[in-house]
């Protein structure tokens, strides 16, 4: 049987769960949760080195970039220039070309600023980046991102860190039906079943940070998400039954006493 890998820009990954590395209590906790989650890709942020406190632990000492694919992101960027600057620096650190673009438009709801996002996607793609794009769940915008060369479409389920789950399943379904690009739900998931729903809608993967990092038991939740993604994918590939209004008995009528 053909292996059911997640393929992004011709790169194959075993796991369809991508996890963020923020909000954990410690680097040790973060590294362990990632291991339990089975994720092959983790998102990371680009920030200033603390040049006064050199004893501060470095992410790379805990999560080996040779074993786990680092996906540099542009979290905290509010316009195209900031995002481009961040990802060019990220590429300089270690030659990373697969990146997550995230240009925010509002400090409260953290919704993506789609005009700047579209502009940045086009520029970065021309510079040779493979851009996985955090976006809203608008099918028209998703199409435009695809047209300018996005490597993956990553619509939000709900606002970042909100834990609300997928708010607009219909839009996600429409985006799924219109694109062959990897479709990854990014942001807003709250519990493992949200990931299953995303996978059952036909998404190629999910990206989770807060729901694991801020769960009361992050390691247990990492395991739950791992299983939920696998279950959702299997369910999707198995072909669900049609929905009907009326009941349909499971036991045969023949031979009733």
Partner 1 sequence: MKKKIKIKINGKINKIDDKTKLSDLIKNLKVPLKKVAIELNMEIVNKKNLNKINLKVNDKIEIVHFIGGG
121 binds partner 1 (CB under 8 A): no
User: How far apart, in whole angstroms, are the C-alpha atoms of residue 69 and residue 53?
Assistant: 27
Spell out the alpha helix ranges (H) of 95-217: 114-126, 139-147, 169-178, 192-200, 210-213
205 binds partner 1 (CB under 8 A): no
43 binds partner 1 (CB under 8 A): yes
User: How far apart, in whole angstroms, are the C-alpha atoms of residue 67 and residue 82?
Assistant: 29
- The least distance separating partner 1 from the CB of residue 118, rounded to whole angstroms, comes to 22
Judged by CB under 8 A, the stretch of 68-76, 150-158, 175-183, 189-197 that binds partner 1 is: 68-76
User: How far apart, in whole angstroms, are the C-alpha atoms of residue 118 and residue 103?
Assistant: 9
State the burial class of residue 147 (Cβ atoms within 10 Å of its Cβ: 0-12, 13-18, 19+).
exposed
Question: Site for partner 1 (CB under 8 A): which residue of 59, 123, 164, 174?
Answer: 59
Which residues, including other chains, have CB under 8 Å from residue 238's CB and lie 6 or more apart? none
Q: Quick one: which of 111, 94, 95, 112 has its CA closest to 103?
A: 112
Tokens of 164: 């609300």
- The least distance separating partner 1 from the CB of residue 30, rounded to whole angstroms, comes to 6
Question: Site for partner 1 (CB under 8 A): which residue of 13, 36, 72, 224?
Answer: 72
**Of the residues 100, 180, 223, 254, which is catalytic?**
100
Q: What are phi and psi of 101, to 5 degrees?
A: -95, 130
SS3 call for 205: strand
Active site residue 66: no
Judged by CB under 8 A, the stretch of 56-64, 118-126, 193-201, 227-235 that binds partner 1 is: 56-64
User: How far apart, in whole angstroms, are the C-alpha atoms of residue 190 and residue 29?
Assistant: 19
Question: Site for partner 1 (CB under 8 A): which residue of 49, 245, 249, 257?
Answer: 49
Based on CB atoms, which residue is closest to partner 1, 212 or 224?
212
In the window 87-116, what residues touch partner 1 (CB under 8 A)? 88-90, 92-94
170 binds partner 1 (CB under 8 A): no
Question: Site for partner 1 (CB under 8 A): which residue of 12, 23, 126, 217?
Answer: 23
List residues near partner 1 by CB under 8 A. 20-24, 27, 30, 43-49, 51, 54, 58-60, 70, 72-73, 75, 85, 88-90, 92-94, 160-161, 187, 207, 209-210
Catalytic residues: 100
């Amino acid at each position: 049987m053909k292996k059911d890998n997640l393929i992004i820009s011709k790169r194959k990954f075993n796991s369809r769960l991508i996890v963020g590395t923020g909000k954990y209590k410690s680097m040790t906790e973060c590294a362990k949760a990632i291991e339990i989650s089975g994720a092959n890709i983790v998102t990371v942020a680009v920030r200033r080195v603390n040049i006064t406190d050199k004893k501060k632990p470095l992410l790379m000492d805990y999560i080996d970039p040779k074993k786990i694919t680092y996906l540099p992101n542009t979290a905290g960027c509010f316009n195209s220039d900031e995002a481009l600057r961040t990802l060019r620096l990220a590429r300089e650190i270690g030659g990373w070309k697969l990146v997550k673009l995230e240009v925010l438009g509002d400090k409260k709801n953290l919704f993506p600023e789609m005009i700047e996002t579209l502009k940045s996607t086009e520029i970065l793609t021309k510079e040779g980046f493979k851009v996985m794009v955090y976006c809203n769940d608008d099918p028209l915008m998703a199409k435009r991102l695809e047209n300018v060369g996005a490597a993956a479409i990553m619509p939000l389920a709900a606002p970042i860190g909100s834990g609300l789950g997928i708010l607009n399943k219909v839009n996600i379904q429409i985006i799924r039906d219109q694109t062959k690009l990897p479709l990854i739900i990014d942001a807003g998931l709250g519990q493992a079943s949200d990931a299953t729903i995303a996978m059952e809608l036909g998404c190629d993967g999910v990206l989770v940070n807060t729901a694991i990092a801020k769960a009361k038991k992050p390691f247990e939740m990492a395991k739950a998400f791992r299983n939920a993604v696998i279950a959702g994918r299997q369910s999707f590939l198995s072909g669900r039954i049609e929905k009907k209004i009326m009941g349909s008995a499971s036991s045969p009528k023949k031979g009733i006493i």
